[in-house]
Amino acid sequence: MNKLITFEGVDGCGKSTQLKRVSDWLRDLGHDVITTFEPGDTPLGKEIRSLLLAGDFVPVPETELLLFLADRAQHVREVIQPALASGAWVLCDRYSDSTLAYQLAARKLGDSAANLKEMLVFAECGVRPALTLWFDVPVDEAMRRMMKRAEAGEKATRLDDEAESFHERVSFAFKQQFDDNASGRIARMDAAQGMDDVEKQVRDVLKQRFGLSA
């Protein structure tokens, strides 16, 4: 069984906190767990991440898409596939749904004639998530959380600093992907709730989908 779970949502949705909590929970249950993220969780990917997000350069949208896909292919081959082959759970902070939401929808690259969804499939190297947790939170609440983080000294990335309208397009795209998700791969978490409530929602989905007990 493929045990890849991806965590998705707008910046500030709380998915990274939940990823950490799920990994602790699964480990307590005795499972092998690898946690990882995109972009940047390989040595080459770290360089790509810096090119993409540090803000020293502003890539045109086409370049931005290609760099995210380059990071993904490297990540799948170098980290995700070997981890899945070893039988571990792989919890990945962002994957192709982010590219659909940020580059194809919010940057409007999906309006072009090229079939970019095929490029997304190519970069996945055959690896699809068994389950995607979508942390749904209103954009104004997500932006409020991001502002709090900035006040606490956390450095914003080039994309965090995009206008609210950009984040609204990202948010709408995630909702659309959830609505179109005939296979049921994507599960919606109400991420406007407190962290403990969201954690319970996540555990309930994992118990139901994978027959985990605890």
Q: Which residues bind ligand TYD (CB under 6 A)?
A: 11, 16, 37-39, 68, 93-94, 98-99, 102-103, 157, 159-160
Sign of CA dihedral 97, 103, 104, 108: positive
Shortest distance, position 55 Cβ to ligand TYD, whole Å: 12
What's the rounded Cα separation, in Å, for the pair 130 and 88? Answer: 13
Q: Which is nearer to ligand TYD, 74 or 99 (CB)?
A: 99
Q: Which is nearer to ligand TYD, 130 or 156 (CB)?
A: 156
Expressed in percent and rounded to 5, the helix, strand and coil fractions of the chain are 55, 10, 35
Shortest distance, position 214 Cβ to ligand TYD, whole Å: 27
The Cα-based distances of 25 to 6, 18, 89, 134, 149 in angstroms read 16, 10, 12, 19, 25
For residue 118, give every residue at least 6 positions away whose Cβ sits within 8 Å of its Cβ, in sequence order, or none. none
Shortest distance, position 87 Cβ to ligand TYD, whole Å: 25
The Cα-based distances of 15 to 11, 77, 129 in angstroms read 9, 24, 16
Shortest distance, position 25 Cβ to ligand TYD, whole Å: 20
Give the CB-nearest residue to ligand TYD. 102
Q: Which is nearer to ligand TYD, 38 or 199 (CB)?
A: 38
Q: Which is nearer to ligand TYD, 46 or 207 (CB)?
A: 46
